[in-house]
Amino acid sequence: MSKWKFLALAGVIAASAAITACGDDSEVSCTVDDDCASDEICASDDICRLACSDAEPCPEGSTCAEEGACFPDDIGGEACEGDEDCDVGQICDLSTFTCVDDETPLECDDATCAEETGFCTLDNECQSVACDVDFNDCGVCGMVTRSANGPLIYDLRADCVANSTTCPDAGQVECTWTFLFFDPDGLGSIGNDQAFRKISSGSSGTGFSTRVNGDEISFKTCEQSGAPGSMNSAIHIEDADGNSSNALCFEYATANQ
């Protein structure tokens, strides 16, 4: 091949490569800015994108993101510059400047959950304590109707010990009932043991030695020592305005003393 033919062929190949490069709009992946061209940065989506600023705006058809990279307006979804530009239930993805569905878990709201006779768990879920759930399905639960603004009580714990002073009758033990509460309109100042009641086998009795500490309440009752209960007992309280709470079923086990 002559020298002139070789040079001509090389020129054609170079021109072809240049045309291909100019027309190639494929995205280049990256991890750092050094992976990109001198006028590009490695954007938050790990794609080399044209750098931009107020002084050097993006070309038409793209938007300069806060990170200083140009994103095409037709990348998908409705274009936006902030959450306020998106529909309800959507947020503005600032890496692409498009509206996307907001998949952030909703925070459990104590007041809203309490309206459904439930409480917010540590897993941010609303756990019902209504009478029809498995762990709160005792025969006397339905004897109590929670007031519209009544307290919501939950997380019941029991500790029963022998105490001949407070529970002197033969075979009795002193049980301390501790639980948490949420009251939509405030529990108020409660110093009356009459506000703390236990229901058992259709009858109602009051507790004693009541204590309120933040969102925790405890009171005591005298119970018969022996085998676990038949899940036919419950507790409930009233706030300072006389509003009744829901009922919490329980069964207890104490050693014969």
Q: What is the CATH number of the domain that holds 217?
A: 2.60.40
- The DSSP code for 76 is S
- The DSSP code for 112 is H
153's enclosing H/E stretch is strand 152-161
**Can you tell me which residue has the tokens 């085998």?**
227
Domain closes at, from 67, 101, 135: 101
Tell me, yes or no, whether 255 lies in a domain: no
Per-residue pLDDT at 189: 54
Burial label, 24 (beta-carbon count in 10 A; 0-12, 13-18, 19+): exposed
Tell me, yes or no, whether 214 lies in a domain: yes
Tell me, yes or no, whether 236 lies in a domain: yes
Q: Is 91 helix (H, G, I), strand (E, B) or coil?
A: strand
Q: Does 153 share its domain with 234?
A: yes
Q: Does 81 share its domain with 114?
A: no
Tell me, yes or no, whether 13 lies in a domain: no
Per-residue pLDDT at 257: 34
The rounded distance, in Å, linking the Cα atoms of 44 and 47 is 7
Domain closes at, from 101, 135, 161: 101
Per-residue pLDDT at 41: 93
Nearest to 136 by CA among 41, 50, 245: 245
* pLDDT profile of the chain (257 residues), mean per 10: 42 40 63 93 89 86 83 69 84 80 79 86 87 83 85 87 84 86 72 60 70 86 64 77 85 46
Q: Does 81 share its domain with 127?
A: no
Q: Does 51 share its domain with 151?
A: no
Neighbours of 78 (CB within 10 A): 13
Q: Does 114 share its domain with 97?
A: no
Give bridge partners of residue 91 from the DSSP assignment: 100
CB 198 within 8 A of CB 204: yes
Domain closes at, from 66, 101, 136: 101
Q: Does 51 share its domain with 153?
A: no
Per-residue pLDDT at 10: 41
Per-residue pLDDT at 31: 92
Per-residue pLDDT at 13: 38
69 is in which domain, residue-wise?
28-101
Find the length of the chain: 257
Q: Does 74 share its domain with 118?
A: no
Per-residue pLDDT at 237: 84
The rounded distance, in Å, linking the Cα atoms of 174 and 28 is 73
**Count of domains for the chain:** 2
The model's pTM: 0.54
